[in-house]
Amino acid sequence: MNEIQSSNCCENNHLSKLEQIESVIDLYKAKPSNLIQILHASQQIYGYLPLEIQEFIASKMKMAVSEISGVVSFYSFFSTKPRGEHTILVCMGTACYVRGGKKLVDELQKQLSIEIGDTTEDGKFTLEIARCIGACGLAPAMMIDKTVYKSVSPNKLKSILAKY
Amino acid sequence: MQLQNQCVAYIVKGDKEMVKLTINNKVIKASEDTTILQAAKDNGIIIPNLCYLEGVHEFGSCRICSVEVVGAKTLMVACMTKVKEGMVVHTNSAKVIKARKVLYELMLSDHSKACLSCNRNLTCELQKLGETLGVGENRFETTSCRNEIDKSISITRDLSKCILCRRCVTVCNEVQGVGILNAQNRGFDTTISPSMDLPIGDVKCAFCGQCTVVCPTGALKETDSTEKVWEAINNPNQRVVFQTAPAVRVALGEMFGYPVGTSVTGKMAAAIRALGVDDVFDTDWAADLTIMEEGMEFLHRVTDVLAGKKATLPMITSCSPGWIKYVESYYPEQIPNLSTCKSPHMMLGALAKSFYAEQKGLDAKKMFVVSVMPCTAKKFECTRSEMQNDGMKNVDAVITTRELGSMIKQAGIDFENLPDEKFDEPMGFSTGAADIFGLTGGVMEAALRTVYALLMGKNLPFENLHVTPIVGLSQIKEATIKLEGVLPQYKQFEGLEVKIAVTSGLAGAKLLMEQIKNGTSPYHFIEVMGCPGGCITGGGQPRSHDTKVKEKRMSILYAEDENKHLRQSHENPSIQKFYDLWGSPGCYKSHEYLHTYYVDRSGNNN
């Protein structure tokens, strides 16, 4: 009984998210030139952009799914896989790279047992890299959600992750 | 007054200004709306190019046609840059030649080098360009980043041979309006693929195969069926039956060096026989049969509607399997509008294994029916579970015109010197109405010839029996035929204005479907062919760069029609004889063998 209720609840949740995405599309008048903004907002609403959501957007905007998918796969910001509760973004810009950004990525991959772009099994973290987050003076830097961590070294990572 | 204004506007619009420019030190004049590439070509200067396809893909994606324009910061692509007054262009300066070779080498860097075993060997445009440019080395050899081979029932994609020119993207999105193929991912990882890199058989592709016609390399082609056809031919226990679609005979010759627009009907029949085939039938015969069945179905539907009974109009033709799969995938609610008639080659297949086998005392289970089609979608069609009778597939294999050409070459047949031969009876004789099944407007015209004659007792009132408003290559063609003075037994049709529409290409079909969906479709009868121009330029036809290919193949097919003594399907004595033995159009047995049903594929991609 509980199971049925919870699945209904998920279904409702899913439908309300689709409604929200639809209202974003309406807001942007379903114009193909506004596709990136629409995808941006849709990812915020749904968390990620699986094929099903891309198909929904395509049908509402009267565009080909392959065109939507072309844009989604072009920009590294968009994800087609579920995202973790928190996104770790390690800067791999020149300054951070030479000061050990790569080592941070290696260590995070080891500690979280995931590859770049993937999400931990418990759904807590998604690991991403960025070309530059504009904090070169703080190199090597990384972000978790909106918080910037400066001069990070691999041995600090455990305590940082423990905060989440 | 209004008309006059229009004329003036037209003259102003048509009066393009001429500009003077210099190409390779030669002063030339060109209209201001031409590109450097075109202006050069018109003056005997050839600029090497690759992705450019006149009238279809003018996009500048490959950059091979780069030229030096004096004063411009960078090299300009000749296929996109319009001529200007006083422009000075160099198409073969050292700078240009060097850039072009580097571009080519970069394209080769991750391109498969399996040329000798590629199905486009000697017809590959990339290969030909290498010869033109005189590139003698391969400095940037890397491993290919795209090695996947995606094989569906109809179309095979070999990503290691894709050069990202995007011609297929243009035909799929803009010409056909389906949008299955688009660029996915970024940079070195870019592929031209369906959404989320899914296999093409897993998305709602109509399998029209237009992408395989424009692909310059071996990246997109029909999925091979020749292997199983050879197996059947070489199996002494199997009786192999071939049939050829109307459009095949006006294009096959191109595979053997004949100019575009040559009809090779007699040689084709002879060549197929020389392959070792037992029966060489003509799908044209079944096209005449289709008209009898479809014409009758149309009359029944109209009769029902006039009598206030339930029936779905407009009725839409069902000969084009790419079109059928498109409706099933995108407009399932319009399935009742589709004629229930099987496509002609399916009718012939069904009858070969029943009617013909019975007559000849053959074991139908040992028969292998091969359809030679201008079409890739028919490969999918013949695997449909509803295309079976008595537990047997109606058609066992479909090969394209290109595949037939290849088989004839493989067998060492001297095509050019073959004497003309005829098709086998009882399914070989056809009227002119059947020939025009291969071009846009043809099925409708053939149906009108017979339906009109049946209702009115006289011939269709158009010169040479051609329904002029539906002849030609416009996207949507329409006509109204008023029935006045119908025979007494059909008096319910008196005064009816039959409204018809014809379209070819799925983009046009989409427009007509939207009308039906909105309830604003004024038509009784619609003909749709999935490929622009109809089967003459179907996805399985020889690839041609002749910009007049449609017109040339079309005129030769009309000529085949006009050269025949009998030009209306119901006059075909062979069809009359068939019905004497079989029953009548639309009878129970006809429904069993010659009609079918359709499947909603909107949720399920297969």
> Which domains are seen in chain B, by residue range?
2-92 (3.10.20.740), 109-222 (3.30.70.20), 226-285+345-417 (3.40.50.1780), 295-341+430-594 (3.40.950.10)
- Answer yes or no: B320 catalytic: no
* Buried-state track B435-445, b at ≥16 Cβ within 10 A, e below 16: bbbbbbbbbbb
pLDDT at A4: 44
pLDDT tens digits, one per residue of A140-163: 999 999 999 999 999 999 999 999
Is any Cβ of chain A less than 8 angstroms from the Cβ of B180?
A: yes
pLDDT for residue B244 is more than 90? yes
Other CB atoms within 10 A of residue A151 CB: 12
Per-residue pLDDT, B3: 40
Q: Which residues of A touch B197 (CB under 8 A)?
A: 73
CA distance B544 to B2: 42
Comparing B79-93, B108-122, B194-208, B246-260, the range with the smallest average pLDDT is: B108-122
Q: What percent of chain B has pLDDT over 70?
A: 97
Q: A155, exposed or middle or buried, with CB in 10 Å at 0-12, 13-18, 19+? A: exposed
Residue of chain B whose alpha carbon sits nearest to that of A78: B185
Cα B45 to Cα B22, B24, B78, B95, distances in angstroms: 12, 9, 12, 18
Taking an 8 Å cut-off on Cβ atoms, the answer to whether A64 and B180 are in contact is yes
Query: At how many degrees (to 10) do helices B283-306 and B442-456 cross?
Result: 60
Query: How near does any CA of chain B get to the CA of A125, in Å?
Result: 24
Instruction: Grade residue A1 by pLDDT with cuts at 50, 70 and 90.
Output: very low
**Is any Cβ of chain A less than 8 angstroms from the Cβ of B316?**
no
Whether B381 is catalytic: yes
What is the DSSP code string of B499-559?
EEEEEESHHHHHHHHHHHHHT----SEEEEESSTTSGGG-TTSPP---TTHHHHHHHHHHH
Q: Catalytic pick from B168, B172, B211, B319?
A: B319
Average pLDDT, stretch B312-328? 97
Helices (H), B50-146: 94-109, 125-133
Handedness of CA B149, B155, B161, B164 (dihedral sign): negative
- CA–CA dist B498, B524 (Å, integer): 6
**Is B180 in contact with A69 (Cβ distance < 8 A)?**
no
Which residue(s) pair with A147 in the sheet? A144
Listing DSSP states for B422-446 in one string gives: PPPSSS----HHHHGGGSTTHHHHH
Q: How far apart are CA B546 and CA B556, in angstroms?
A: 15
Average pLDDT over residues A53-80: 94
Q: Does B211 touch chain A (CB under 8 A)?
A: no
Tens digits of residue pLDDT in B1-50: 344 444 443 444 456 789 999 999 999 999 999 999 999 999 999 999 99
In the set B125, B222, B294, B527, the catalytic residue is B294
pLDDT score of B55? 86
- The whole-chain average pLDDT of chain B stands at 94
Tell me, yes or no, if B386 is annotated catalytic: yes
Measured in degrees and rounded to the nearest 5, phi and psi for residue B149 equal -115, 125
Q: DSSP string of B373-418? A: ES-SHHHHHTT-TTSEETTEES-SEEEEHHHHHHHHHHTT--GGGP
pLDDT tens per residue across span B399-418: 999 999 999 999 999 999 99
Lowest mean pLDDT, pick from A134-143, B132-141, B447-456: B132-141
Q: Does A77 touch chain B (CB under 8 A)?
A: no
Give B251-274 pLDDT, tens digit per residue: 999 999 999 999 999 999 999 999
Residue type, B545: H
| Interchain proximity A66–B179, CB inside 8 Å | yes
| Residue among B229, B487, B221, B467 at smallest CA distance from B371 | B229
pLDDT digits (tens, 9 = 90+) for B529-554: 999 999 999 999 999 989 999 999 99
**Tokens at residue B505, please?**
């290409």
- The pLDDT of residue B548 is 94
> Is the per-residue pLDDT at B113 higher than 90?
no
Q: Report pLDDT digits (tens) over A72-123.
A: 999 988 999 888 999 999 999 999 999 999 999 999 999 999 999 899 999 9
Fill in the DSSP letter of residue B20.
E
Whether B180 sits inside 8 A of A66 (CB atoms) is yes
Band (pLDDT 50/70/90 cuts) for residue A6 is very low
| Mean pLDDT across B350-379 | 97
Q: How many CB atoms lie within 10 A of CB B245?
A: 28
Give the whole-angstrom CA distance, residue B173 versus residue B183. 12
What per-residue confidence (pLDDT) applies to B14?
A: 54
pLDDT grade, residue A15 (50/70/90)?
confident
- The pLDDT tens digits for B153-212 are 999 999 999 999 999 999 999 999 999 999 999 988 999 999 999 999 999 999 999 999
The verdict on whether B124 is a catalytic residue reads: no
Q: Does B206 touch chain A (CB under 8 A)?
A: no
Mean pLDDT over B423-441 rounds to 96
CB contact under 8 Å between A64 and B203, yes or no, is: no
- Our CA dihedral for B54, B58, B64, B67, rounded to 10 degrees, sits at 100
Class of residue A122 by CB neighbours under 10 A (exposed 0-12, middle 13-18, buried 19+): exposed
Contact B395, B336 (CB under 8 A): no
What are the backbone angles phi and psi of residue A119, rounded to the nearest 5°?
Answer: -120, 145
How far is Cα B494 from Cα B487, in angstroms, rounded to an integer?
9
Contact yes or no for B196 and A63 at CB 8 A: no
Percentage of the residues of chain B whose pLDDT score is greater than 90: 91
Active site residue B17: no
User: Any idea where the domains of chain A sit in the sequence?
Assistant: 2-74, 86-162
Are B195 and A65 in contact (CB < 8 Å)?
Answer: yes
pLDDT tier for residue A9 given thresholds of 50, 70 and 90: low
**CB-based contact, A66 to chain B, within 8 Å:** yes
pLDDT tens profile B461-507: 999 999 999 999 999 999 999 999 999 999 999 999 999 999 999 99
Please state the rounded mean pLDDT for residues B334-362: 97
Bridge partners for A143 per DSSP: A89, A148
B339 is catalytic: yes
pLDDT given at position A100 = 94
Q: Which of A5-9, B36-40, B579-583 has the least mean pLDDT?
A: A5-9
- What's residue A13's pLDDT? 85
Shortest Cα distance, chain A CAs vs residue B189, angstroms: 10
The rounded Cα B286 to chain-centroid distance in angstroms is 19
The whole-chain average pLDDT of chain A stands at 91
Kindly report, residue by residue over B368-394, the tens digit of the pLDDT. 999 999 999 999 999 999 999 999 999
What's the CATH class of domain A86-162? alpha beta
Closest in B183, B198, B203 to A70, CB measured:
B183
Residue B528 near residue B503 (C-beta atoms within 8 A)? yes
Residues B432-436, mean pLDDT to the nearest whole number: 97
The gap from C-alpha B222 to its chain's centroid, in whole angstroms, comes to 13
pLDDT of residue B145: 67
Task: Answer yes or no: is pLDDT of B606 > 60.
Answer: no
pLDDT classification of B604: cutoffs 50, 70, 90: low
Interface confidence, given as ipTM, is 0.87
Q: Any CB–CB contact under 8 A between B186 and chain A?
A: yes
The answer to whether B476 and B500 are in contact (CB under 8 A) is no
- Does A68 reach chain B within 8 Å, measured CB to CB? yes
